Structure 1
Amino acid sequence: MSTTTATLDNTALHGDTGTALRFITCGSVDDGKSTLIGRLLVDSKTVLQDQLAGVQRGGETDLALLTDGLSAEREQGITIDVAYRYFSTARRKFIIGDAPGHEQYTRNMVTAASAADAAVVLVDATKLAWAAEVEDGTVVKRELLPQTRRHTLLCHLLRVQSVVFAVNKLDAIDDAGLAFERISTALNAFAEAAGVQVAAIVPISALKGWNVATRHADWVGYEGPSLLELLEELPVTAQDEDVPFAFPVQWVEKFSASADTSQGRRVFWGRVASGHVEPGQRVTVLPSNQTATVAQVLSHTRQPKVVHAGHSAGIVLDREVDVSRGDWLLAPGAFEPVREITATVAWLDDEPLVAGRVYWALQGHRWVKAKVARIVDRVNITTLESEPATQLEANSIGDVALSLQQPLAVLPFTQSRTLGSLVLVDTASHKTAAAVLVQPAAAKA
């Protein structure tokens, strides 16, 4: 990809612009994430005048305050929690997640990325050594900030479909064209080494609004669309429609007002994780292994219909079987529940992960005990190489082997976001400890 012109691959250019795009802004601390979102809200005329009046500092508008809603965030000038905002253009609706850049809040960033269709990774041009080619006779190696690398890797691991790099604060640099060219080269080299498909690299000034909502002509040699124009074209993440039917039971409605449509039987409510469900289908209950036939399917408005992956449904079976919250309804024979899995984890707890510890593992609404059998390796975010490890520290990424107390139906995360992901929770503190992404070998375990 050229360093001066953003490009989108053919699939991105034909994205479903009629569907709302969920995207996050991420990157290192103070790279301008909250300011960028504030700029998008203002330039799309989503912010009212009284809201703008409430984010004045020293007579100037502080765009970051439009998303930093917690008092602690305003006092410290940082983003702590993920703030979601909504806006739309004539072409599309958007749901934005402003992810914190501080390393200690990486767990919040992971939460936002797990449901995102796209990620805009901010890169602060003023923080990078882009100017010199040679110093003291040595060729300068242009290193990205650790959080830029970490957030990009996490987005890649979490199957965020489109990654866009936005090189920010170029308005504060004298030779902005040279800076953008060299930073783009460094970003492309990193992405290639990490196996990350980059949708575009866009030069912006979030503070001044250059190339954010509208193009800033004749700037840094860039000839591509503005950031917002790119976002209007990006595809949403496809649901797991081609994967066999799987349904995590969230709620059991025992005696409902809809008894006239459910023949007095219990209704099992949840969101279809993969495939689709319609009357006449045979299903197997996990963990009891009982089988039944779907008698009726209700939409979230209690209307009978076929329900596809990603949508809520109420399922009525043809006979009474033992089904509780946390159970799964599965296509018979399509899954082989396993108790041993190998997975990539993003470790989020302050306490290191060590072999032998036991955690709660959550898949859908099902809780099982999981023991860390061994730590396979850890990713060095600087070299991108795997290295031996005996523990994983906070915000590390590595591979581990887990032993489950009870079997789960899993697929590789590359095949299914829902069936391939778990969350580890500390049994004592009840804090989220890790995001777990099942590797392909697990499907054969």
Structure 2
Amino acid sequence: MDLLRFTTAGSVDDGKSTLIGRLFYDTKAIFEDQLEAIERTSRQRGDENVNLALLTDGLRAEREQGITIDVAYRYFATPKRKFIIADTPGHVQYTRNMVTGASTANLALILVDARKGVIEQTCRHAFIADLLGIKHIALCVNKMDLVGYEQAAFDKVRREFGDFASRLENITDLTFFPISALKGDNIVEKSESMPWYEGPPLLYYLEMVYVGSDANHVDARFPVQWVVRPHSDEHHDYRGYAGRVASGAFKPGDEVIVLPSGFGSRVKSIHVGDEELAEAYYPLSVAITLEDDVDVSRGDMIVKPNNRPKIDQELDAMICWFSESKTLRAGGKYILRHTTKEAQAIVTDVRYKV
């Protein structure tokens, strides 16, 4: 069973937390005590229906204001797939939290209020998703119940967002869904209120969308996070290198080199715990052993000799700047963190900002 990481996005009050709560509720991923707690809180707040958004709004300030501030990570599974959801805030001032949640996502689930249509924050979050290399966008036109489930409202959003998304570079899969997170329309089951919609419900898409081809399978990169030396009688001579495959794939027998030293060797074995693997590929976390006793340290990079990364003193980078008190400026000195190593860096030029 594979894993899909996705993030919610969209403006405040577009229904992101309610949608996640609905997914949990309709897939029976809520414990009885959780359901009782949100039912009790909903009654105390005077809500007409059970407020499913309370499942992800964990901070006191979030529940009092009825908004999401922090990034909330939630897990659920169906018989077909496992999911990790990052529920991110919609307010402009919390955009940096949206960046954090989207940074590890395979897919962005962007919500639009059917009454308001595509607004600035919708486009901002879509642009950030594209900037972070997210290729799959599920655009959910929410609150269709408040516009009488009219197809015209859905088509209007589809045209507006489609025109904007056509200018984005990385998005290759854009799918639209007319939904009501509050009522459950087109979330897990197809809605009888929208017979004009011929597509699948949202959950079916999330279960079936293929993200395996999104990763870089060509450039083999293995940053070493830890050198494993058990120093036990059973594994007295064992020396392994633990980390997560950043891209590409490695097999026993592959010729490799270690950067920055340039020492060469071959992959002897690949393990996950006690299990030996025939191949390691992104995003597996493994331990690799080499045939030769070469010097490998935390922060080194194991690569293929015929496909080495470019080594240079200068680089161009797109940066998401989080600090509110300090600005990124030309001539400023900063610490550049690359995998598990750090280096001093100077910004020579800020070409543009969004």
Counterpart amino acid of residue 151 in structure 1: H
* Alignment partner of 1:253 is 2:225: no
Stretches of structure 1 lacking an aligned partner (at least 5 in a row): 1-17, 129-143, 379-395, 397-445
1:287-346 Cα distance to aligned partner (Å, 9 max, x none)? 22233333x323121333333222122222334433221111122242231221122233
1:102-154 Cα distance to aligned partner (Å, 9 max, x none)? 223323322322222211100012334xxxxxxxxxxxxxxx32221111112
Report the Cα offset of residue 239 of structure 1: 6.7
* Alignment partner of 1:305 is 2:277: yes
Looking at structure 2, the residues matched to 194 and 282 of structure 1 have their Cα atoms a distance apart, in angstroms, of 38
* Alignment partner of 1:66 is 2:55: yes
* Alignment partner of 1:207 is 2:171: no
Q: Is the 8 A contact 1:166 1:202 kept in 2?
A: yes
Matches within 5 A, 1:229-308: 229-238=204-213, 240=215, 242-257=217-232, 260=235, 264-294=237-267, 296-308=268-280
Looking at structure 1, the residues matched to 348 and 148 of structure 2 have their Cα atoms a distance apart, in angstroms, of 54
Aligned to 1:28: 11
Change over 3 Å in CA distance of 1:258–1:188 after alignment to 2: farther
Aligned to 1:421: none
Out of 43, 51, 62, the position equivalent to 2:26 is: 43
Change over 3 Å in CA distance of 1:218–1:229 after alignment to 2: same
Looking at structure 2, the residues matched to 219 and 240 of structure 1 have their Cα atoms a distance apart, in angstroms, of 36
Change over 3 Å in CA distance of 1:239–1:270 after alignment to 2: farther
Partner secondary structure for residue 24 of structure 1:
strand
Matches within 5 A, 1:138-217: 144-174=118-148, 176-195=150-169, 196-217=171-192
Partner secondary structure for residue 275 of structure 2:
coil
Out of 287, 309, 312, the position equivalent to 1:338 is: 312
Looking at structure 2, the residues matched to 197 and 321 of structure 1 have their Cα atoms a distance apart, in angstroms, of 42
1:240-260 Cα distance to aligned partner (Å, 9 max, x none)? 463232211111123444853
Partner secondary structure for residue 38 of structure 1:
helix
Stretches of structure 2 lacking an aligned partner (at least 5 in a row): none
Q: Is the 8 A contact 2:270 2:280 kept in 1?
A: no
Partner secondary structure for residue 320 of structure 2:
strand
Q: Which moved more, 1:248-257 or 1:180-189?
A: 248-257
Change over 3 Å in CA distance of 1:320–1:259 after alignment to 2: farther
1:208-228 Cα distance to aligned partner (Å, 9 max, x none)? 111111111252832222111
* Alignment partner of 1:110 is 2:93: no
Counterpart amino acid of residue 264 in structure 1: D
Out of 359, 364, 379, the position equivalent to 2:334 is: 359
Change over 3 Å in CA distance of 1:120–1:253 after alignment to 2: same
Counterpart amino acid of residue 156 in structure 2: R
Aligned to 2:89: 100
Q: Provide TM-score, normalisation by structure 2.
A: 0.88
Equivalent residue pairs, number: 344
Partner secondary structure for residue 111 of structure 2:
strand
* Alignment partner of 1:224 is 2:213: no
Change over 3 Å in CA distance of 1:287–1:258 after alignment to 2: farther
Counterpart amino acid of residue 289 in structure 1: G
Report the Cα offset of residue 26 of structure 1: 0.9
State the Cα RMSD in Å: 2.4
Looking at structure 2, the residues matched to 217 and 167 of structure 1 have their Cα atoms a distance apart, in angstroms, of 16
Looking at structure 2, the residues matched to 45 and 181 of structure 1 have their Cα atoms a distance apart, in angstroms, of 32
Change over 3 Å in CA distance of 1:269–1:237 after alignment to 2: same
Looking at structure 1, the residues matched to 17 and 187 of structure 2 have their Cα atoms a distance apart, in angstroms, of 13
Looking at structure 1, the residues matched to 231 and 68 of structure 2 have their Cα atoms a distance apart, in angstroms, of 43
* Alignment partner of 1:55 is 2:38: yes
Counterpart amino acid of residue 215 in structure 1: K
1:354-405 Cα distance to aligned partner (Å, 9 max, x none)? 2111222222222222221112223xxxxxxxxxxxxxxxxx3xxxxxxxxx
Looking at structure 2, the residues matched to 278 and 40 of structure 1 have their Cα atoms a distance apart, in angstroms, of 39
Looking at structure 2, the residues matched to 239 and 308 of structure 1 have their Cα atoms a distance apart, in angstroms, of 17
Partner secondary structure for residue 20 of structure 2:
helix
Decide which structure has greater strand share: 1
Counterpart amino acid of residue 145 in structure 1: I
Aligned to 1:416: none
Counterpart amino acid of residue 189 in structure 1: D
Looking at structure 1, the residues matched to 18 and 237 of structure 2 have their Cα atoms a distance apart, in angstroms, of 54
Q: Is the 8 A contact 2:142 2:181 kept in 1?
A: yes
Counterpart amino acid of residue 208 in structure 2: E
Q: Is the 8 A contact 2:252 2:279 kept in 1?
A: no
Partner secondary structure for residue 167 of structure 2:
helix
